[in-house]
C-alpha cells in the first residue's frame, strides 16, 4: 500500500483492494454512546433518498477477519479507504512483524466513511445536517478525516440492526448553531447530571416553540389590523398564542397536519416516563405527552426540591425517551405548514 507516495509493508488480515481512490471518500471519527463491539458494522442510508451513502464501523474491525463483514465486498471497499486514511494520519502503524496495529489505543473507536459521489446525489448534502440523526443512532461526530483527529471528553436500537437510516435536520433549523453545539458538545458528555441534561433538551424545545410564537404573533397582529372590533376574542387569542404549555402542545400534538411527526412508540415511552415521575411526586397528570412533558418541565424548573433523591433516576429515564422524541421532532419540524389549498 502506498501512503504519501511511499510504500508500506503493513499487512492487513482483510483482503483489501487498493483499486479504490481514498480521495473520493470522506471519513469522520465518531464517539459512541454505547460500548462498541467488533461486529458493530452498519450500512448508512439517507432516509429520504433511500441511497446508501456510506458505512459506520469500529476501527477494531479493520484489524480482524473474524467478524460478519470480513468477506463482504462492499465493506472491504470502505475498509481499504479507512485503513489508508488511518495510516496517513498515523493512527495505524506496523509492528515488528509488519502487522497493522493501533498507535494509540485511546483513539476514537468508530469511523463513518462516506462516498462523496453518493452524497453529491443528495441535494445540499451536509454532514452537519445529520448530527441529530446520528446522535439518535448512538453516535457523535468528533472530527472530519483522519488528519483532523481529536478527542472528546465524554443502549441504542442501532446495535441490533445492520443498517442505520439517517435523516437531515429540518431545513428551517440549518442555521441554528445552538442545536448543533448541544448535540455535538454538551449532550454527549457522560458527566452531565440528569437535571442538566433535561434543561439542555428543553432548551431545544424552547427554540422550536419560539419559532411558533413569532409566526403566530405576527399573524395575530395582522388579524387585529384587519378587524379590531372583536376585542375580547383577540385578548383570548393572545393568551393562547403566548402560553408556553399551549405552544408545547402545538409542537408535539398529533393533530393533523402536525408540526412534526413523532413515532407513536417513542411518544408512548416518553409519556409513560413523564407520568412515572409525576406519580411519585403526587403531581397531576395529563393524557397526552405534551401536557405531561410540560408538567415535568415546571416541576424541574420550579419545584426540583420536591423530587426525592431516590427518584432522580426517573429524570434519567425521561431524558432517554425525550432524546428519541426530539430526534423525530428536529428532523420533521415544519412551521408554518404549507397551505395545500393555495395556488401555485
CA 152 vs CA 135, 238, 298: distances in Å: 14, 45, 32
Let me know: does 268 contact 288? Beta carbons within 8 Å.
Answer: no
Asked if the model's pLDDT at residue 26 lies above 90, the reply is: yes
- Which ranges in the chain belong to alpha helices (H)? 73-88, 116-120, 131-136, 177-181, 194-226, 231-242, 244-252, 264-280, 289-302, 312-332
Asked if the model's pLDDT at residue 130 lies above 80, the reply is: yes
pLDDT in the model for residue 201? 98
pLDDT in the model for residue 237? 81
CA distance 78 to 76: 5
Let me know: does 107 contact 85? Beta carbons within 8 Å.
Answer: no
Most confidently modeled range among 155-159, 161-165, 248-252, 254-258? 248-252
CA distance 141 to 125: 16
More confident residue, 3 or 197: 197
pLDDT in the model for residue 190? 87
CA distance 234 to 255: 23
Grade residue 232 by pLDDT with cuts at 50, 70 and 90: low
Asked if the model's pLDDT at residue 343 lies above 70, the reply is: no
The mean-pLDDT minimum among 2-11, 113-122, 332-341 falls in 2-11
**What's the pLDDT tens digit per position in 34-84?**
888 889 999 999 999 999 999 999 988 988 899 999 999 999 999 999 988
Question: 67: how many CB neighbours lie within 10 A of its CB?
Answer: 19
pLDDT in the model for residue 92? 60
Asked if the model's pLDDT at residue 146 lies above 60, the reply is: no
Whole-number average pLDDT of the chain: 85
Q: What is the mean pLDDT of residues 280-308?
A: 95
CA distance 181 to 221: 34
Asked if the model's pLDDT at residue 306 lies above 50, the reply is: yes
Q: What is the mean pLDDT of residues 265-276?
A: 97
Question: Is omega for the bond preceding 92 within 30 degrees of 0, making it cis?
Answer: no
Structural domain spans, the chain? 2-168, 194-332
CA distance 315 to 336: 32
pLDDT in the model for residue 340? 44
Q: What are phi and psi of 308, to 5 degrees?
A: -65, 145
Asked if the model's pLDDT at residue 27 lies above 50, the reply is: yes
pLDDT in the model for residue 15? 85
DSSP 169: P
Which grid coordinates belong to 135?
446522535
The mean-pLDDT minimum among 4-13, 71-80, 209-218, 249-258 falls in 4-13
Asked if the model's pLDDT at residue 89 lies above 90, the reply is: no
Task: Give the 3-state secondary structure of residue 166.
Answer: strand
Q: What is the mean pLDDT of residues 244-256?
A: 89
Q: Please, what sign has the CA dihedral across residues 77, 80, 81, 83?
A: positive
**What's the pLDDT tens digit per position in 151-203?**
333 344 344 447 899 999 999 999 999 999 999 999 999 899 999 999 999 99
Task: Give the 3-state secondary structure of residue 55.
Answer: strand
Grade residue 257 by pLDDT with cuts at 50, 70 and 90: low
Amino acid at each position: 500500500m502506498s501512503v504519501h507516495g511511499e510504500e508500506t509493508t503493513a499487512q492487513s488480515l482483510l483482503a483489501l483492494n487498493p483499486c479504490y481512490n481514498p480521495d473520493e471518500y470522506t471519513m469522520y471519527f465518531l464517539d459512541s454512546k454505547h460500548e462498541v463491539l467488533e461486529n458493530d458494522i452498519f450500512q448508512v442510508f439517507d432516509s429520504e433518498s433511500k441511497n446508501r451513502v456510506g458505512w459506520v464501523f469500529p476501527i477494531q474491525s479493520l484489524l480482524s477477519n473474524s467478524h460478519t463483514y470480513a468477506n463482504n465486498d462492499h465493506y472491504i471497499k470502505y475498509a481499504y479507504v479507512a485503513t489508508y486514511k488511518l495510516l496517513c494520519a498515523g493512527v495505524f502503524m506496523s509492528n515488528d512483524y509488519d502487522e497493522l496495529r493501533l498507535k494509540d489505543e485511546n483513539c476514537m473507536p468508530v469511523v463513518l466513511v462516506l462516498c462523496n459521489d453518493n452524497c453529491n446525489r443528495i441535494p445540499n448534502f451536509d454532514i452537519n445536517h445529520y448530527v441529530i440523526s446520528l446522535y439518535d443512532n448512538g453516535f457523535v461526530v468528533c472530527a472530519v478525516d483522519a488528519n483532523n483527529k481529536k478527542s472528546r471528553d465524554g443502549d441504542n436500537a442501532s446495535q441490533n440492526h445492520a443498517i442505520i437510516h439517517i435523516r437531515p435536520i429540518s431545513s428551517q433549523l440549518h442555521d441554528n448553531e445552538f442545536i448543533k453545539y448541544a448535540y455535538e458538545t454538551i449532550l454527549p458528555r457522560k458527566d452531565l447530571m440528569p437535571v442538566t441534561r433535561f434543561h439542555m433538551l428543553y432548551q431545544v424545545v424552547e427554540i422550536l416553540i419560539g419559532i411558533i410564537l413569532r409566526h403566530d404573533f405576527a399573524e395575530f397582529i395582522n388579524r387585529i389590523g384587519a378587524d379590531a372590533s372583536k376585542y375580547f376574542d383577540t385578548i383570548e387569542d393572545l393568551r393562547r398564542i403566548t402560553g408556553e404549555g399551549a405552544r408545547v402542545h402545538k409542537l408535539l400534538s398529533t393533530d393533523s397536519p402536525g408540526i412534526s411527526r413523532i413515532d407513536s412508540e417513542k411518544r408512548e415511552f416518553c409519556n409513560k416516563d413523564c407520568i412515572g415521575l409525576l406519580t411519585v411526586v403526587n403531581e397531576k397528570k395529563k393524557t397526552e405527552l405534551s401536557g405531561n412533558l410540560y408538567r415535568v418541565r415546571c416541576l424541574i424548573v420550579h419545584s426540583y426540591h420536591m423530587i426525592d433523591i431516590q427518584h432522580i433516576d426517573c429524570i434519567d429515564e425521561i431524558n432517554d425517551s425525550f432524546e428519541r422524541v426530539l430526534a423525530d421532532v428536529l428532523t420533521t419540524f415544519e412551521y408554518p405548514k404549507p397551505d395545500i389549498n393555495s395556488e401555485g
